[in-house]
Amino acid sequence: MPFQFDLNTIWFLLIGVLFTGYAILDGFDLGVGALHLFSKGDTDRRILINSIGPVWDGNEVWLVTGGGALFAAFPNVYASAFSGFYSAFMLLLAVLIFRAVAIEFRSKHPSAIWRRNWDIAFSIASIVIALLMGVSLGNLINGVPLETDGDIYMSLLDMLNPYALLAGVTTLSLFIMHGSIYLVMKTEGALQEQVRGWVNNSIIFFVVCYASITMATLVYFPSMAEPFKQHPWLFSLALLNMLSVANIPRMIHLKKEFFAFLSSCSSIAALLALFAIGMYPNMIISTINTLNNITVYNGSSSQQTLKTMLIIACIGVPFVLTYTIVIYRIFRGKVKIDKMSY
Amino acid sequence: MDTELLARVQFAFTIAFHYIYPPLSIGLGVLLVIMEGLYLKTKNKLYEEMTRFWIKVFALTFALGVATGIVMEFEFGTNWATYSRFVGDVFGSALAAEGIFAFFLESGFLAILVFGWHRVSPKMHFFSTCMVSLGSMLSAVWIVVANSWQQTPAGYHIVGEGIKARAEIIDFWAMVFNPSSVDRLSHTLSGAWLAGAFLVLSVNAYYLLKGKHIEFAKAGMKIALFFALFASLFQLFTGHRSADGISKNQPAKLAAMEAHFDSSAAADLYLFGVPDVDTKKVKFGIGIPGGLSFMLYQNFSTPVKGLDAFPKNELPPVNFVFQTYHAMVALGMAMIGIAVLGVFLLLRKRLFEQIWFLRLLVVTVLFPQAANQLGWFTAEVGRQPWIVYGLLKTSDGLSKTVQANQILFSLIMFTAIYALLFVLFLFLLDQKIKHGPDTHEDEVAEYHTQISIIDDLKEGK
């Protein structure tokens, strides 16, 4: 299907931007959570939690808004995917809440056992969230048993196929890499030295996963590569992704942590862009009959609603970006534990 | 059990639990603006302590609101897929506006409120407080607009047939200003203000009874009392407007609310009673004969459309709606009485010595919470059997792919998690209340521990 720059495509892009924003922002929160148990001692662990303290709640709002925008722009996609992935999404909700509880509860009581158990809960919840999100993306690439009226009959076990699990682990490795770089920015002293070691290991972990999933995708889902054959300039995105990843150890070595973090952000954005390009114009692919596919056209709201929402977005998004950047600037620098801390 | 019942129970349970928190955020948000505004104006440290203390409580209610709010957004799609397809075009733009205008505003600036005291100027901090309060109220705007559209659809047309039918917007502003949105929004907001005001009253009354933080408690109580008086009177006004609107737009709901059976007769206004659908009478009823007719038409004998005007399968459960509605009204009236009495005692300079009244204030924190829940039950159950009034039945809005046992499992899961969450909320709230406001001495002590932690870090400990 040829690329058409119409309202449907614009909204496909905008929702992509929202979920990319979520992956970049909550990605490091989840990565920090996944790494949490590698740090030792209460002070170090508190610094880790407080590195995301002022922002994790706000970062989850990107998920809420992304979900809202999906509901608004592509109600058929939202309805089919959310009801079809019922059990997985209920599990996701459970761990999202449980993780928030763990962050709030952990430092409220001085007992060591209390804190250790909440540390474990926080870390496992973060890992499960990253895995579930990756598994959901994997199933979208994989295709699902989508029937003519938009219904998907699929159990949680059906979702845990090998390719989707690989996508889950890749997502986890990406967030761990991203989170470890964020931590280098936010820590100092001995802890920072320790975190630098995590960065190198997590890059290796990610590159291994990335190579595996790229191969698996090319072998099992060659249609994902079709747009790249037709438009070779799209390979620049894959190149951008690799250069971004390669740039990270260099910047860490040069002690330019912020630039390492930006590289990590751009690699997340490039990866999601590759996914989106491979899918377009489909949003949910049917394994039963390709005629059942939900695309940006048959899954969308009316043209008028898409237009109204675009006006809303054009008014709102500049504000959101401005104050998000301002707020991150206000909280830049190293973590200090004080009485408002977790 | 059948999927419809389970899906409805799950939605009712998760939304009712969610709705404990947003009203507190909205109400406290306005009070924070007043408190911090007074601090900037008077430079009185008492108001600063007050602002700091209530920001901590606000952050707690906000965090729980977000955690339980994500569930709501997912549930439309997971449990009500057919409904989501039907309303997506209409409901979606309101939800997107809520995300872009309200959620980001609230959550972004909240970080400055909680963690930014030493990082921004007092004016910037106050500005952040205003933005957080604005954000919390804007989120109410969009979600109530969407819900009001379900009650009184406007500005749309239906495209497609059967399972593929859906409502599409043809006039955005007619959708936003549908016949019930302004009344219902103002009624919802004033209910939320009451939730905030009565929480502040309750905590401060507790401090006065315990003889702790006396000056702090007295100053806070004054602010909250005047706010409660304003909100409770405004609540009465908006409640009347809402009832008026329902008589025009959803007569079946109004007939159920007042258990009015006979269309040819004048309608009574009950204080309480037990409607009996079989005999079409209200048992043990005490009320004003023709009162509802008078309220709506300023005439005690004007007939009002009754339950007999509707097919049996298009009626909401009468007794349930009657009871929730009357309990809400009774609580609303009680809150007006308490606020008026409180202000009277305050002006006579006798408020802080009335032990019985302070004790009453400690427990009345539950009144607005209960009234808010009962009001929503009236609104939502009163709309049954419709999920979108007159257009889509609740039983037709379900997800076809989701099985009863899946919902049963998730319902049990949510019950367990929310029980944990509620214990957490009460534990943290109790801890914050017991800890009380931080005084200036605490600040200095805290500063020194910070310095020592930083020193520890520098030495690599």
pLDDT at res. A135: 92
Subunit contact A83:B100, Cβ cutoff 8 A: no
Residue B215 in tokens:
């000056």
Please, which residues bridge with residue B251 across strands? none
| H or E element at residue A138 | helix A112-142
pLDDT at res. A335: 65
Q: Per-residue pLDDT tens for A202-221?
A: 888 998 998 898 888 888 88
**What range does the domain containing A201 cover?**
7-330
Residues in chain B where the model's pLDDT stays below 70: 1, 439-461
Going by the DSSP 8-state scheme, the letter that residue B160 receives in this structure is S
In a domain, residue A335? The reply is: no
Q: Per-residue pLDDT tens for A75-111?
A: 889 989 888 888 889 899 999 888 887 887 777 777 7
Nearest CA in chain B to A11: B96
Contacts of B70 in chain A (CB under 8 A): 60, 63-64, 67, 93, 96-97
Residue B365 in tokens:
């924190």
Nearest CA in chain B to A337: B450
**DSSP three-state, residue A282:** strand
pLDDT-wise least confident of A63-67, A287-291, B159-163, B207-211: B159-163
**DSSP three-state, residue B456:** helix
In a domain, residue A240? The reply is: yes
Going by the DSSP 8-state scheme, the letter that residue B272 receives in this structure is E
Show which of residues 270-329 on chain A sit within 8 Å of chain B, judged by CB atoms: 301-302, 304-305, 308-309, 312-313, 316-317, 319-320, 323-324, 327
Which residue type, as a one-letter code, is found at position B237?
F
Show which of residues 149-188 on chain A sit within 8 Å of chain B, judged by CB atoms: 149-154, 188
Subunit contact A331:B109, Cβ cutoff 8 A: no
CB half-sphere exposure, A328, CA atoms < 13 A: 14
In a domain, residue A339? The reply is: no
Distance CA B89, CA A216 (A): 37
Q: Per-residue pLDDT tens for B293-336?
A: 887 788 777 888 888 888 888 888 888 888 899 899 999 999 99
Going by pLDDT thresholds of 50, 70 and 90, the confidence category of residue A333 is low
Going by the DSSP 8-state scheme, the letter that residue A38 receives in this structure is G
Percentage of chain A surpassing pLDDT 90?
A: 15
Give the residue extent of every domain in chain B.
1-177+400-461, 181-249+251-382
In a domain, residue A277? The reply is: yes
Q: Which residues contact B112 (CB under 8 A, 6 or more apart)?
A: A327, A330, B119, B120, B124, B125, B128
User: How many domains is chain A built from?
Assistant: 1
Subunit contact A97:B159, Cβ cutoff 8 A: no
Which residue type, as a one-letter code, is found at position B279?
T
Question: Considering chain B, what is the average pLDDT of its residues?
Answer: 85
pLDDT at res. B444: 46
pLDDT at res. A113: 83
Mutation choice for B interface testing from A25, A83, A98, A283 by most B CBs within 10 A: A83
Nearest CA in chain B to A194: B460
Subunit contact A331:B406, Cβ cutoff 8 A: no
Furthest-apart CA pair in chain A: how many Å? 61
A340 contacts chain B (CB < 8 A) = yes
Smallest Cβ–Cβ distance between B85 and the set A55, A79, A100 belongs to A79
Question: Considering chain A, what is the average pLDDT of its residues?
Answer: 85
In a domain, residue A340? The reply is: no
Distances (CA, A) of A195 to A121, A176, B338, B398: 21, 11, 58, 48
pLDDT at res. B401: 80
Nearest CA in chain B to A14: B96
Q: Per-residue pLDDT tens for A160-196?
A: 889 999 999 999 999 999 999 888 888 888 878 888 8
Subunit contact A75:B85, Cβ cutoff 8 A: yes
pLDDT at res. A144: 85
Going by pLDDT thresholds of 50, 70 and 90, the confidence category of residue A3 is low
Distance CA B193, CA B137 (A): 10
Q: Which stretches of B123-268 are assigned E, i.e. beta strand?
A: 156-159, 166-169
Subunit contact B88:A76, Cβ cutoff 8 A: yes
Going by pLDDT thresholds of 50, 70 and 90, the confidence category of residue A2 is low
pLDDT at res. B274: 80
Q: Per-residue pLDDT tens for B408-437?
A: 888 999 999 898 889 888 888 888 888 888
How many beta-carbon pairs below 8 A join chains A and B?
A: 245
Cα Rg of chain B (Å, integer): 24
Smallest Cβ–Cβ distance between B73 and the set A68, A100, A101 belongs to A68
In a domain, residue A158? The reply is: yes
- B11 CA to chain A: closest CA distance, Å? 13
pLDDT at res. A281: 87
- For A165, phi and psi rounded to 5 degrees? -65, -40
Cα Rg of chain A (Å, integer): 20
Distance CA A289, CA A299 (A): 16
Distance CA B16, CA B376 (A): 9
Beta strands at B281-288 and B269-276: parallel, antiparallel or unpaired: antiparallel
**DSSP three-state, residue A6:** coil
Subunit contact A316:B71, Cβ cutoff 8 A: no
Nearest CA in chain B to A63: B70
pLDDT at res. B460: 45
Q: Which residue has the higher pLDDT, B412 or A292?
A: B412
- A232 CA to chain B: closest CA distance, Å? 35
Subunit contact A69:B120, Cβ cutoff 8 A: no
Instruction: Find tokens 């606000």 and name the residue.
Output: B58
Q: Which residue has the higher pLDDT, B358 or A48?
A: B358
In a domain, residue A1? The reply is: no
Residue A285 in tokens:
């692919």
Residue B237 in tokens:
């006004």
